[in-house]
């Protein structure tokens, strides 16, 4: 593969330069040199005056702390449940691929190819890329494993991290988690409608209802070339009025002109030629059939000619879902048809359609809509142990409670009853089993209900059954 010239970014390097793994050329001499270089780097770091500074998560990433975890679990579980109802099966592809999987499919002039991919060379001199989006890897897996021999369309879904070197914003991170589905192998517009129906079911199950579904068609290889020429003819005398990125897009990928978010470009986008007025008969019939199916399914939508996709492999149907509170990065979900993608990956022409939705943006909107998230399984039992030998018994009591399906926790050793009771209360425990010297000698516990503060003595063997 010809290596692309590396583009230097504003913060002092390229993604390749920041993430490259030193290559040792396959020889022992080279390997030794690589090891020496690594130790040299570590030595410099050890002598650095900043060595005592606290390390933090890289810019554009975020830790998911325990208080946030229920939101993530809620979105994931809802996605998996809805996909199951529509007959989709989970697929997991590698977090990195041969860079060609994305270089071939992204298209010239796209942000993913020009600015956002994390590319690196491994020790075998293979050029690899962290996954910037989910679809290309799933289609690669479909081709590699002969899924064309299965009943079509093959219905797949995934929940996976993606990586793009982009300017961090609210709901947009350099590492973000995406839920996506792909229906591969059927070109019929009814498949498009059912995929969009899954979108509406997913949002309904999440509790997100205040959004707008925007649909469009971007034609195909038959009708799009003539439209692109019309678009160029419109923009050519107006290039002084657009941003620098759009001047570059004019040369490399004119369709991306319609996806610009810069304020100065919006009036031109509003008055630009509409692709829907340049469709061939097949694309027009496909779009009209889709709209008919959406109407029959009582799915509300608006046709928006401004909806395009940032990757070149999309054809015909595209859509986005936007919340009522808009913003430059407000899209909750975007999707489209990609009937030419498999060919770019070396396979036969294979129709496909899918969507992607970022967890981070979904969670922002769940909070904004004040959606109630199911609580974690409450702590049923906390065992407070107060005397020598009680710790081992406490472990056995906790194990019996967990075996019966009840969450249980053993208190930390060496603390007073007051301290352990305070700890149990902070963890939301329903019951505390107190193991003092008298209880241990009698083979019993004092079981205290933290709701009504009632307590009773019961046999150690009966504790699990007493957790009503």
User: Do 311 and 405 reside in the same domain of the chain?
Assistant: no
pLDDT of residue 248: 87
pLDDT of residue 255: 85
Strand 154-163 vs strand 89-90: parallel, antiparallel, or unpaired?
Answer: parallel
User: Do 397 and 357 reside in the same domain of the chain?
Assistant: no
d(CA 9, CA 36): 29
The burial of 162, by beta-carbon neighbours within 10 Å (0-12 exposed, 13-18 middle, 19 or more buried), is given as buried
Q: What average pLDDT does the structure give for the chain?
A: 85
Look up residue 436 and give its two tokens.
């003092």
The DSSP output letter for 301 is -
Residue 231 pLDDT greater than 60, yes or no = yes
pLDDT of residue 311: 66
* H or E element at residue 291: helix 281-296
Q: Which residues contact 430 (CB under 8 A, 6 or more apart)?
A: 378, 379, 380, 381, 449, 450, 451, 467
User: Do 425 and 448 reside in the same domain of the chain?
Assistant: yes
Residue 40 pLDDT greater than 60, yes or no = no
Mean pLDDT score, 34-55: 57
By residue range, what is the domain housing residue 91?
69-95+131-223+279-368
Residue recorded with tokens 């406490």: 394
Mean pLDDT score, 179-191: 97
Mean pLDDT score, 206-213: 93
Helix axes 281-296, 189-206, angle to 10 degrees: 40
Question: Looking at beta carbons, which pairs linking 439-446 to residues 24 or more positions away fall under 8 Å?
Answer: 440/387, 440/389, 440/390, 440/393, 445/383, 445/397
User: Do 362 and 431 reside in the same domain of the chain?
Assistant: no
pLDDT band at 2 (very low <50, low <70, confident <90, very high): very low
| Beta-strand runs (E) in 261-351 | 302-303, 315-323, 333-337
Last residue of a domain, one of 310, 338, 368: 368
pLDDT band at 115 (very low <50, low <70, confident <90, very high): low
* H or E element at residue 180: strand 175-184
User: Do 432 and 320 reside in the same domain of the chain?
Assistant: no
Alpha helices in 121-223 (DSSP H): 135-144, 189-206
Tens digit of each residue's pLDDT (9 = 90 or more) over 122-158? 999 999 999 999 999 999 999 999 999 999 999 999 9
User: Do 407 and 357 reside in the same domain of the chain?
Assistant: no
CATH classification at residue 428: 3.40.50.800
Task: Provide the percentage of residues in the chain whose pLDDT is more than 70.
Answer: 84
Mean pLDDT score, 248-257: 86
Last residue of a domain, one of 335, 368, 401: 368
**Measured between alpha carbons, how far is residue 7 from residues 23, 122, 253 in Å?**
20, 19, 19
**Measured between alpha carbons, how far is residue 166 from residues 21, 115, 135 in Å?**
21, 8, 19
pLDDT band at 15 (very low <50, low <70, confident <90, very high): very low
Residue 17 pLDDT greater than 50, yes or no = no
d(CA 408, CA 396): 11
Task: List the 333-337 sheet strands across, edge first.
Answer: 89-90, 154-163, 175-184, 352-358, 333-337, 315-323, 211-217, 302-303
User: Do 182 and 285 reside in the same domain of the chain?
Assistant: yes
Task: List the 455-459 sheet strands across, edge first.
Answer: 408-410, 381-385, 431-435, 444-449, 455-459
Please report whether residue 340 resides in a domain.
yes
Answer for the pair 161, 64: CB distance below 8 angstroms, yes or no: no
Tens digit of each residue's pLDDT (9 = 90 or more) over 404-417? 999 999 999 889 99
Report the phi/psi class of residue 388: left, alpha or beta, with left for phi > 0 and alpha for psi in -120 to 50. beta
Mean pLDDT score, 357-372: 92
Residue 11 pLDDT greater than 80, yes or no = no
User: Do 149 and 205 reside in the same domain of the chain?
Assistant: yes
User: Do 406 and 287 reside in the same domain of the chain?
Assistant: no
Please report whether residue 171 resides in a domain.
yes
Between CA 86 and CA 89, with CA 88 as vertex, the angle to 5 degrees is: 150
d(CA 180, CA 75): 12
Residue 330 pLDDT greater than 80, yes or no = no
Please report whether residue 427 resides in a domain.
yes
d(CA 189, CA 287): 7
User: Do 349 and 408 reside in the same domain of the chain?
Assistant: no
pLDDT band at 60 (very low <50, low <70, confident <90, very high): confident
User: Do 198 and 337 reside in the same domain of the chain?
Assistant: yes
Tens digit of each residue's pLDDT (9 = 90 or more) over 274-316? 888 899 999 999 999 999 999 999 999 999 988 887 666 789 9
pLDDT of residue 139: 97
Please report whether residue 442 resides in a domain.
yes
pLDDT of residue 253: 83
User: Do 403 and 459 reside in the same domain of the chain?
Assistant: yes
pLDDT band at 49 (very low <50, low <70, confident <90, very high): low
CATH classification at residue 359: 3.30.930.10
CA-based R_g, the chain, Å:
28
Phi, psi of 382 (to 5 degrees): -120, 130
Phi, psi of 105 (to 5 degrees): -100, -20
Last residue of a domain, one of 368, 396, 424: 368
- Report the number of distinct structural domains present in the chain: 2
């Amino acid at each position: 593969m010809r290596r692309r010239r590396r583009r230097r970014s504003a913060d002092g390097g390229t993604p390749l330069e920041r993430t490259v793994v030193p290559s040792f050329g396959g020889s022992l001499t080279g390997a030794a040199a690589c090891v020496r270089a690594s130790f040299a780097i570590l030595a410099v770091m050890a002598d650095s005056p900043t060595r005592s500074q606290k390390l933090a998560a890289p810019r554009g990433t975020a830790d998911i702390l325990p208080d946030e975890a229920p939101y993530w679990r809620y979105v994931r579980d809802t996605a998996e449940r809805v996909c199951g109802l529509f007959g989709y099966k989970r697929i997991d592809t590698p977090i990195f691929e041969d860079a060609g999987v994305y270089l071939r499919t992204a298209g010239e002039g796209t942000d993913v190819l020009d600015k956002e991919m994390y590319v690196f060379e491994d020790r075998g001199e293979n050029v690899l890329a962290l996954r910037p989006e989910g679809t290309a890897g799933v289609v690669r897996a479909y081709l590699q494993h002969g899924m064309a021999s299965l009943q079509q369309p093959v219905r797949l879904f995934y929940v996976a991290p993606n990586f793009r070197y982009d300017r961090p914003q609210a709901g947009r991170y350099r590492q973000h988690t995406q839920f996506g589905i792909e229906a591969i192998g059927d070109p019929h517009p009814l498949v498009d409608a059912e995929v969009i129906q899954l979108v509406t079911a997913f949002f309904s199950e999440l509790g997100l209802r205040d959004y707008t579904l925007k649909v469009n068609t971007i034609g195909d290889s038959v009708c799009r070339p003539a439209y692109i020429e019309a678009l160029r003819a419109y923009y050519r005398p107006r290039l002084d009025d657009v941003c620098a990125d759009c001047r570059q897009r004019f040369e490399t990928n004119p369709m991306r002109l319609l996806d610009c978010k810069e304020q100065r470009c919006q009036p031109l986008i509003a008055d630009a030629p509409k692709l829907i007025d340049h469709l061939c008969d097949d694309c027009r019939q496909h779009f009209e059939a889709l709209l008919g199916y959406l109407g029959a399914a009582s799915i509300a939508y608006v046709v928006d000619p401004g909806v395009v996709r940032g990757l070149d492999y999309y054809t015909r149907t595209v859509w986005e879902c936007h919340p009522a509170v808009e913003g430059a990065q407000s899209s909750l979900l975007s999707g489209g048809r990609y009937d030419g993608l498999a060919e770019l990956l070396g396979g036969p022409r294979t129709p496909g359609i899918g969507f992607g939705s970022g967890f981070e943006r979904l969670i922002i909107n769940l909070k904004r809509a004040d959606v109630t998230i199911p609580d974690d399984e409450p702590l049923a039992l906390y065992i407070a142990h107060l005397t020598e030998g009680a710790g081992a018994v406490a472990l056995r009591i906790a194990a019996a409670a967990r075996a019966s399906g009840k969450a249980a926790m053993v208190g930390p050793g060496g603390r007073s009853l007051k301290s352990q009771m305070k700890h149990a209360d902070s963890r939301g425990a329903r019951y505390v089993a107190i193991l003092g010297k008298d209880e241990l000698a009698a083979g019993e516990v004092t079981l205290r209900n933290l709701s009504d503060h009632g307590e009773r003595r019961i046999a150690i063997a009966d504790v699990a059954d007493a957790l009503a």
